[in-house]
A and B are shown apart, each in its own frame.
Chain A
Amino acid sequence: MRIVVTSGYNKSLHAIALVHLLAAQGQNVVLCLQVRLFNIARLRFYLHQVGLRKLISKIQRAGFWPGKIETTSVYEEVRPMLDYFCENKIHSKTVGQACKAVRARLVNVSSLNSPKALDALRQADADLVVYAGGGILRKYFIQTPKVGVLNAHAGPLPQFRGMNATEWALFHGVKPKITFHYIDCGIDTGEILFSKSVSTDALASVYALRGRATRVSVEGLLEVVKRISEGKIQPVAQDINAGRQFFVMADPLLEVLKRWIVNRSTPMVDCENFKWPKK
């Protein structure tokens, strides 16, 4: 199966891990589409979404801007992936290096929906795209690969769609779960393939939870790709009305969530038992 991996930026840890481990699994990684970090559309999107202060903090976190950063939170978020790199002996530090190591083509694009990205995707004759970041996808991109575009959604579907789904699930007392699904034109509404729980044992913070979720999403994507290539998995359509679409969680609610995590008194239910009240 000819596989294409997308990447949101050159130092994306989960994209690097995916490129390496898919190849190690015996998959044919033919192309990596990497979105340029600094482009006007992307900066505008983030500026609208998170505001200037958070945008600067995001750039600082990525290591492109000197200044005071919350090193503990960054470390907590990145640590599970760094451990994963050590366990799997991955030495590449950038997506470029990973592509070089597995002899995959790397194409830098301004957007995954740009003509350049679509051309590269067609030339690669891709069967499956593994989405590891890079922004919202349009119809033409989604329809190009033969099997589909695979995504790891950081929350239980169909209940929690959209952004910060791990946090929102925990906020509602639902055990966090990564859901693997095909991307369609809606927001996290595509057919579900598989889901994998994220452990909340001895959880210290929201950042640690995010880090664990990233690691679980990489492990799960590898498993799903393997099952797809073996023809051992059947997608299941979602009940869109059973879910709600969330946006970025407001900071004061994150503070509440942190407190709940520290308290550890929060009972949690499985997502299978969770239903939204009818309108």
Chain B
Amino acid sequence: MEPIHKSDTLKARPTAFQDNLVSCAEAAARWLARSIEACDGSGSAGFYSRFYHPFKGWYWSYPETTGYIIPTLLNYAVFASQPEYTDIAIKQADWILSLQFDNGALPGGVVIRGHRAGPSIFNTGQMILGLVAAADYTYQEKYLSSAFRAASWLANQVDELEGIWKNCAYVPGFSPAYYTRVCWPMLEVCSRKTDDKIKAAAVRVLEVILGWQQENGAIKNWGFQPDRPAFTHTIAYTLEGFIESGCLLGPEGNRFIQATIKTADVLRRRMEYRGRLGGAYDLQFKGRYWYTCLTGNCQMALVWMKIYNILSDARYISAALKALQHVMQCQRIRSFNPNLRGAVAGSSPLWGRYMTFRYPNWAAKFYLDAVMSAHKILQQLLEKNPCELWSHPDTIKASMQ
């Protein structure tokens, strides 16, 4: 039997920060489960706020965010070895199936007393992510065929002249840059069920939005409203869409990854110089620093971690961890109100411009994603040595031998 070296036992042990990540993740996951309980298991409540809803506190179930919470809960079930989260996630996927229109579209807005709103481009895309995750987990055809019908509807809705969606928008008549995050789910569907029409439509939209990127890295129409500073939430939506699509497209998608890196690098530098990420940025990257958009922080952390995984550039993981640490300090861990325990606010301070006085479910979702991702990367760092981690040229490896 080989003797156990001291370093081997040390390597496997997580750091104190990782332990903290685990407890933060647990609190966030419990809060998400509670947001679903608040809607009797049919979707996750959009947000919790005693300010907007003094009696119940919880808002109506929000199909869009429930959709992308599904993969988060499935991942958390594996991360924490808690299979009950799988059951919760799959039930949400079934609920989304029940909301689908005959033409394949999925509804926007919230579901109030069982009544769904009209179809929405962006929300359909986000729910596809949940359906695809459920299909991957259960191997049941119903989820993938539903996702396929939704993606086909999206492909059909692309304006032939302009190459982007003009209908069923959040702000009528405004096509935002964060539609990249609709292209990504479409490409996810294509990677499981090949369809040239869906792929071509997604790539076309991505190309149109890529054309909106300015020399300084900013992307036109990257906010909820035209000509207004964009919350980091929507900036990160745009970047997530680009980078995830780029990864799915292979060599063809390299330009989208490069576009992401260009913008993400500017934001990383801004955050490092200012010590934190602003709540919103205009097209000249002039930031609003009096508040932070916590959701945006988590999403940017995810984008930076993704870039770190691609480039093995440690500056990105450092920035991601800093952004995440800021949110960790803001998470409500100790609260007498069980509906607040584990919640993440829209903004810090709570009266910041983004989701003022509210605890949205998507803040907890992106937070949980970022926490799990950070934990994984830190574990990888602990289990390897630096020379294995960074892609050094052969000269270094040769010098080590």
Contacts and interface: CB of A to CB of B under 8 A. Distances in A.
Interface string A244-279: 101111111101100110111111111001110100
Given A50-B275, A252-B378, A262 B396 contact: no
A253 B317 contact: yes
A272 to B, nearest CB: 9
Given A48-B274, A252-B378, A267 B16 contact: no
Given A252-B374, A277-B391, A267 B385 contact: yes
Contacts of B313: 244
B157 interface: no
Given A252-B378, A273-B395, A277-B393, A259 B10 contact: yes
Contacts of A96: none
Q: Looking at A49, A170, A252, which has the most chain B CB atoms within 10 Å of its CB?
A: A252
Contacts of A49: 275
B378 A247 contact: no
Tell me what chain B mostly uses at the interface: helix, strand, loop, or mixed.
helix
B78 interface: no
B15 interface: yes
Interface string B363-401: 000000000001000100110011100111101100110
A16 B322 CA distance: 34
A198 to B, nearest CB: 16
A228 B391 CA distance: 38
Given A263-B7, A264-B7, A269-B400, A255 B386 contact: no
Contact of A275 (B312, B378, B395): B395
Contacts of A249: 318
A250 B275 contact: no
A268 B385 CA distance: 10
B393 A260 contact: no
Contacts of A274: 392, 396
Interface in B276-320: 276, 312-315, 317-319
A262 B15 contact: no
B11 A273 contact: no
Contact of B318 (A47, A51, A250, A262): A250
A96 B272 CA distance: 34
14 contacts: A50-B275, A172-B314, A244-B315, A249-B318, A250-B317, A252-B15, A256-B381, A259-B10, A262-B7, A265-B7, A268-B387, A274-B392, A277-B391, A277-B392
Q: Identify the 6 closest CB pairs spanning chains A and B, nearest first.
A: A173-B386, A48-B275, A247-B272, A250-B321, A263-B7, A252-B17
Given A253-B314, A255-B15, A267-B385, 16 more contacts: A247-B315, A250-B322, A251-B325, A255-B17, A259-B382, A262-B7, A264-B7, A267-B387, A268-B387, A269-B396, A270-B399, A273-B395, A273-B399, A274-B396, A277-B312, A277-B391
Interface of A: 47-51, 168, 170-173, 244, 246-253, 255-256, 259-260, 262-270, 273-275, 277
